[in-house]
Every structure is written in C-alpha cells, then in structure tokens.
Copies of this chain bind each other. A is one copy, B any other.
Amino acid sequence: MRYVMVQIPNTPASASPAPRSVPTSADVARLAGVSRATVSYVLNNTGAARISEPTRRRVREAAEELGYVPHAAARSLRAGHSRMVLMPAPAFPVGPLYGRFISELQWALGRLGYTVVQYGSVGLHGDEAARAWAELRPVAVLVPGSGPGPRGVALLRRAGARAVVTVGPERVEGAHAVLLDHDGVGHCAGAHLYARGRRRIGVVVPAEPGLEPFSRPRLAGVRAALRGTDAEVTELPLAYEERAAAELAASWRRFGLDAVFAYNDEYAMLLMRALQDEGVRIPDDTAVLGADDLMLGRLLRPRLSTIHIELPAGRDLADLVDRAVRDPGLAPEAHQVLGASVVRRESS
C-alpha cells in the first residue's frame, strides 16, 4: 500500500501573517532607548549590579515585546567557542537499550551546561562525515559505533573540538575511547554455554549492514572463550526475517549444534520460534542464548537466557566529556566498559 497525504481544508483564520524580519539586540536597544551593550549586559546578567533596575526592566520588557531570541551562532562566533556536543546519529537501528543510554547521556550533559545535538550524517562516510561535523565547530564530538579514522579525529581536533570520544568496539588514535566490550559479551556467552556442557556452538551473525562492529567482536569473544577446548564454533549468518530463520531452522539438524548464541534477544526470539516450529526442543536439543536482557526474553517460553549488558552510565560518560573539554591537553584515555553477565533462565 502506498501512503498518501491528503490535504485538509484550512480555517481562514490560520493564514500566516506577513513575515517580519527577525528582531536583533539592536532592535531591543532601540526600543528600550539604550545601547546594544546594555542589552547584552542585562540579558546575560553580566557586570552584575552595574545596571540600574529601571533600565533592566525597560530592556527586559522591550525584549519580551519584540519576542527577541539571541542568535546562538553569532554568540558563539563572538565567544570563539560553543557548548555544543555533537553526536552523529547512528546509522544502525538502535535498540531500546541504546536509546535509553542516549537519553541519559543527553540529560547528564545538559546538566553540565552542554547542548547535545544529534547530527544525521546519512550517506556521508569517514573523513567526509568528520568534515561535515567539523563545520559546526562543536566543543566535543561523541561518536557511537565505528567512527572516523585517525585522520578524521585529527581534522575534528584542528577544527576546535576539545574532545573526541568514540563509543564502540575499537580504539581510534587521538580520541578518547569508551570501549564497549563486545568481545566480553561473546566470551561470557561462550563460557556459559560451555559450562552448561554444550560443545557444538552456533553463533548468529546478523546479515543486516551496520551491525558488524558489534557482531564481529561478539563472535570473536565466543571463539576466544572456547579456544583450546573441545568445543566447536559455527558462524550462522541470519537476516532478521521470518523466512531466513525458517530456512536456517530447516537445515538445523544438519549442523548438529547443541547450542546457539543468537547475537541478541531479538534474533534469539526469531530463531527460537523457527526452531520450535521445526520441532527442535529447547533447551534439550539446542540451548538458545540471547543478549541485551530485553523484556521480551522474559516473555518467551522457555524463558530466554541472556547476557545482561551494563552500559556506561550517562553521567560517567558526560563527566569524561566534561573533563576532556576542560583540559584539552588530557591524553586520550581508553575506558573499558565492564558488565557482561549471564542471566540464566530456561533456554540454556
């Protein structure tokens, strides 16, 4: 079905008024009968007690009357810096876990006086994206997922970014890094399944593009956990579609797997359903393990075992950004996020 926009008749009253020009501080000054400097002093509460109360009132009233709003770009141009923290909007589909993390982070940065802006750099890649971000002269850049290369980071720093922080699986030269330990997630999964006596272990790798930075380390972590044991790891590419899951399940017995780590809870649900439809018993024939500890895992039957992931607290990350901004000489640090832990339920 094709979506169609249907225009609804407007009430005559809603015709827009003639567009006037945007009021500036000069307009406010004129109306209040003072200079632009005075306006600036009053509206920013600088030079504190040095402006008389009547003047202040006149200025404020004039600003109110004109609907004056300061021009952020002009202000930061003059100031030579901004309080903007730029966050490229991630290209991959974000789950609820990550969404909450972003919210919390924005809130924490807001408390510290920063303005968080998510920039949709669709279609831009690598250094090109970094260039686009640099044009905005953010005071800090917070890049989720696999970000710019070292050249991009250098570019951003030259453009005045006092901190570049990547949040993802790998470290980038010149940038602070919050390393999301996806290897650890995989390791945790592998160790758990091994401890449960499983030896032929499948690992789902999403076919969707953009998830490689997460899926690769998770797979590698499973491999690492089982290295030197008698267990065997099989990589299972899987698209997030019913058909793909059904096909995988149809050839399941051929793989001879007694366990599968399904990348996350959503893929686990998809696969588990397909396996059940195929008559595979869970966990008797095959154990299924998810990750992210989403609500839906608790609602499945058998209840889904999962890897609980503790993301960095938004406050901590905000503090890191703030520290780096205040002290740009601060050598880029790498921080390892801890927090992968098994939540065993019924599927493993």
Contact residues of A with B, CB < 8 Å? 1, 3-8, 10, 14-16, 19-20, 22-23, 67, 69-74, 76-77, 82, 89, 93-94, 96, 99-100, 103, 106-107, 110, 115-120, 122-123, 131, 134-137, 154-155, 157-160, 162, 173-174, 178-179, 240, 242, 266, 269-270, 273, 295-296, 298-299, 301, 310-313, 316, 320, 328-339, 341
Number of this chain's copies in the assembly equals 2
Distance between A87 CB and nearest chain B CB, rounded to angstroms: 8
Q: Is the CB of A117 within 8 A of B120?
A: yes
Q: Is the CB of B69 within 8 A of A131?
A: yes
List B contacts of A99 (CB < 8 A).
Answer: 93-94
A320: chain B residues at CB < 8 Å are 5
A4 nearest CB neighbor, chain B only: B338
The distance from the CB of A336 to the nearest CB of chain B, in whole angstroms, is: 5
Interface contact A10-B334, CB-CB below 8 Å: yes
Contacts of A106 in B (CB 8 A): 89, 120, 122
Known contacts A94-B99, A117-B117, A334-B8: does B312 contact A16 (CB below 8 Å)? no
Q: How far is the CB of A185 from chain B (nearest CB, A)?
A: 14
Could you jot down 22 A-B contacts, CB within 8 Å?
A6-B335, A6-B336, A7-B335, A8-B334, A8-B335, A10-B333, A14-B173, A14-B174, A14-B332, A16-B157, A16-B330, A16-B332, A22-B160, A71-B135, A72-B73, A77-B77, A89-B106, A103-B122, A106-B122, A117-B118, A270-B295, A270-B299
CB contacts (< 8 Å) of A134 on chain B: these are 69
Set B19, B76, B116, B273: member contacting A329, Cβ < 8 A: B19
CB neighbours of A333 from chain B (8 A): 7-8, 10
A137 touches B339 (CB 8 A): no
Report the 9 A-B pairs with minimum CB-CB distance, sorted nearest first: A73-B73, A118-B118, A106-B120, A72-B135, A116-B120, A8-B334, A273-B299, A69-B134, A5-B335
A22→B69 contact, CB < 8 A: no
Contact of A159 among B8, B22, B179, B335 (CB under 8 A): B22
Among B10, B100, B296, contact of A331 (Cβ-Cβ < 8 Å): B10
CA distance A296 to B96 in the complex (A): 15
A20/B173 contact (C-beta < 8 A), A76-B73, A93-B100, A338-B6 known:
no
Chain B residues with CB under 8 A of A20: 158
B3–A158 touching, CB < 8 Å? no
Alpha-carbon separation in the docked complex, A4 to B315 (Å): 11
Find A3's partner among B116, B123, B312 (CB 8 Å cutoff): B312
Output the nearest chain B residue to A160 by Cβ-Cβ distance: B22
- If A76-B73, A118-B89, A159-B22 touch, whether A1 touches B339 (CB-CB below 8 Å) is yes
Residues from chain B with Cβ under 8 Å of A118 in the complex: 89, 117-120
Q: Chain B residues near A7: list those with CB within 8 A.
A: 333-335
List, in ascending order, chain B residues with CB within 8 A of A337's CB: 3, 5
Complex formed: what's the CA distance from A329 to B82 in Å?
33
